[in-house]
Amino acid sequence: MNRFTDDGATTHVCFVSRVRRDRLEEYKAAHAAVWPEMLEALAETGWHDYRLFLGADGLLVGVLRTDDYERAQRDMAAREVNERWQAAMKDFFEPAEGRPDEGFVQLEEVFHLESQLDAARRAG
């Protein structure tokens, strides 16, 4: 889990995945109009300030704040709307087997400007 926190209770999480290049425009369109019940479920299960960034090569980068990423994933996986959303999104991803949300590769945060600035100021 990410070691840098904003306020002691929340942490940033970053993950990557890969969208098929031939489906990029469709993927963007789907995310321009996410189902309201999906949006509510994400917020209710602890996904805050959740953003997705998509490269022209299909690289998908997600970032969010949460107090417990494992719990947020588990609670979201238990939602019926998530089952439907994952089924609708499945064919957008490489590889297309399994649920897309189970294929996220979490990245380790190795630098945080504010943490290092605070430490340097305390030491100085």
Q: pLDDT of 74-107, one tens digit each? A: 999 999 999 999 999 999 998 766 788 888 999 9
Residues carrying an active site annotation? 31
Torsion angle, alpha carbons of 75, 76, 80, 83, to 10: -130
Which residues is 51 bridged to in the sheet?
63
How crowded is residue 101: how many other Cβ atoms within 10 Å of its Cβ?
A: 17
Residue 3 has pLDDT above 70, yes or no: no
Kindly give the interhelix angle for 36-44 and 69-77, rounded to the nearest 10 degrees.
140
Q: Position of tokens 């588990």?
A: 74
pTM: 0.86
Q: pLDDT of 46-81, one tens digit each? A: 999 999 999 999 999 999 999 999 999 999 999 999
